Homo-oligomer: A and B are copies of this chain.
């Protein structure tokens, strides 16, 4: 496992925020980091060269989607996901667990695994810990996630406990079949919104963690305070010597609150999804570009941003593109939104090194929330 290591550069004196470097076979990742999501082996609307230019250090891609289309064996034949999608920096694949559980009536969970019907053509499939490891090996990402059961928010403690135990058993099965030294398996902490289950889970899964551990099943509908409490409760038990990844979390405030609680890695479809709906994240809050007040606004989206979109285009132009349903609006807003979250992580990293993360967070909130339009 010498291909992977985590270097803890500095821990903020006043919070749990950490700055580090995660070394992987496809390059170093400076943490904390935001990972754009490339669901179907493409970060929607963006050329890989554009993603590189804006400083993307690592991408996430989805095992469930790639398993169905084009099929992981096609990706393997292409030489793996890096070659297939022409991305030379690190990639992380999820396990497909969250996607198949989200299928609702289309899936059935047993101790063996999950049987489900494809959302595309209704065809029947089964994911087991063993099959998912095989699929993730085919895809060939640097970081691969264990197959877990994400119990729904609001379920009772008994249900949550059984899902957690199953997650632990599945982790053990994943670890047994994962033999590939060039891919790092991240175990996932579950336990729903029950502190004792969360603590039990982190204590169990950390023994499987070689260089990375993930927290799943948060930001699934619970109040922010509940989510923050879960993170606070498990924090004392998270290993120091490896990166910690909070799955599926990507609003600016959740990222900052996660960083404060010692989280190093984040991912979310938010920046690209809202870009396609014509919404931008800016240092002064969200901007709904379609809004009529921007019709003759020839200033950039975000004065404090130096991305390709903000350097070259006005709100009036972006509004025009959104109004005309032009694809370019999705591209320019995606460039901006991803840049925004990458810069947020970069700003946090600098602040941590200067031991003033709390101040950084407070300043961000003051700008972001006092000006939201």
> A interface vs B, CB < 8 Å?
40-42, 44-50, 65, 69-70, 74, 77-79, 84-86, 295-296, 298, 308, 312-314, 316-317, 319-321, 323-324, 326-328, 330-332
Contact = CB atoms under 8 A, between A and B. Distances in A.
Given A44-B328, A70-B319, 8 more contacts: A40-B320, A41-B317, A42-B321, A45-B327, A65-B324, A77-B296, A79-B298, A86-B317
A341 to B, nearest CB: 20
Contacts of A296: 74, 77
A70 B163 CA distance: 54
A44 B331 contact: no
Contacts of A85: 317
Contacts of A316: 70, 74, 77-78, 84
A330 B47 CA distance: 11
Given A320-B69, A321-B42, A330-B327, A48 B312 contact: yes
Contacts of A295: 70, 74
Contacts of A324: 40, 65, 69
Contacts of A312: 48, 86
A371 to B, nearest CB: 24
A74 B326 contact: no
A40 B321 CA distance: 8
Given A69-B320, A308-B49, A320-B69, A327 B44 contact: yes
Contacts of A77: 296, 298, 316
B44 A298 contact: no
A286 B69 CA distance: 24
B40 A308 contact: no
A206 B317 CA distance: 37
A16 B298 CA distance: 47
A78 to B, nearest CB: 6
A367 B330 CA distance: 37
A44 B317 contact: no
Nearest to A326: B42
Q: Chain B CB within 10 Å — which of A74, A77, A79, A323 has the most?
A: A74
B331 A70 contact: no
A313 B86 contact: yes
A81 B297 CA distance: 15
A69 B323 CA distance: 8
A162 to B, nearest CB: 35
A332 to B, nearest CB: 8
A188 to B, nearest CB: 26
A317 B332 CA distance: 23
A118 B228 CA distance: 53
A314 B78 contact: yes
Nearest to A327: B45
A327 B47 CA distance: 10
Determine which residue in A79, A84, A328 has the highest number of CB atoms from chain B within 10 A of its CB, and name it: A328
A85 B65 CA distance: 35
A203 B74 CA distance: 61
29 contacts: A40-B320, A40-B321, A40-B324, A41-B317, A41-B320, A44-B328, A45-B328, A47-B50, A47-B328, A49-B308, A65-B324, A70-B295, A70-B316, A70-B319, A70-B320, A74-B296, A74-B316, A77-B296, A77-B298, A77-B316, A78-B314, A78-B316, A79-B298, A85-B317, A86-B312, A86-B313, A86-B317, A327-B327, A331-B331
